[in-house]
Amino acid sequence: MPSFAHFFNTLFSSTDVFLDAMWLTLKLTVVSILVGIVIGLIFALLKISNIKWLGWISDVYVFLVRGTPLIVQIFILYFGISGLFLLPDFWAASLALAFHNGAYISEIFRGTIQSIDKGQMEAGRSLGMSNALAMRRVILPQAFRRALPPLGNQFIIGLKDSSLAAFISMNELFNVATTLGSNNFDEMTYLLIVAVYYLILVALLTIAVHLLEKKFAVSDR
């Protein structure tokens, strides 16, 4: 284990390179989560659709993501996307992570949508709304508010999962830490340092989700 003096000296001397890596990690997380939310909402709506084969498509997608390791999915999707389209590495990695996050987010949305009382849809329909309009204006806003706590957990999981982008040569936090540790023969110090940066990012995401929950709680009064 490194001494406290050595740890803090290394922590401050490596700030520039780790801040760049932290920014890349944060961008990977935010983009993959935002795209994952869109994917998740689409597959959640497919699942609750009255058309059975659309629900089967959603079931197959969720089963494939849950049944295979994330690193395998990243490799398949990353090299598959890169082979089909000329995408920058950042976007290929983000889409691969989004595909994974989307399956779990779809289950979150499915559960919260189905938790809304059926009378809410009937009330929207009685006002002359179509099913799609009532879903968009009445059901989804309520479902999103209920989904915030589990979505916050998924955001944190997505942040930590982004470390696997190191295996496709993205210079995010974990890759930078392992590279510097190997180059300086000081792996433990850099692993402890990268743990500090991940804790900072998790704290920031937790605060952001908490503020959103408070904002929506006030709007419900």
Confidence of residue 219 (pLDDT cuts 50, 70, 90): low
Question: Which of 183 and 80 is assigned the larger pLDDT?
Answer: 183
pTM: 0.88
87 phi and psi, to 5 degrees? -100, 145
User: Residue 18 above 90 pLDDT?
Assistant: yes
- Distance separating alpha carbons of residues 148 and 68, to the nearest angstrom: 26
Among residues 144, 152, 142, which one has the least CA distance to residue 220?
142
Express each pLDDT in 94-152 by its tens digit. 888 999 999 999 999 999 988 888 777 777 777 777 777 887 778 888 888 888 888 98
Contact indicator for 151, 107 with CB cutoff of 8 Å: no
Residue that is written with structure tokens 């699942």 in the block: 47
Express each pLDDT in 26-49 by its tens digit. 999 999 999 999 999 999 999 988
Q: Give the domain extent around 201.
A: 4-219
- Distance separating alpha carbons of residues 185 and 190, to the nearest angstrom: 10
Contact indicator for 149, 213 with CB cutoff of 8 Å: yes
One-letter identity of residue 220: D
Residue 114 has what pLDDT?
86
What is the tally of structural domains in the chain? 1
| CATH assignment of the domain containing 181 | 1.10.3720.10
Residues of the chain with pLDDT > 90, as a percent, come to 44
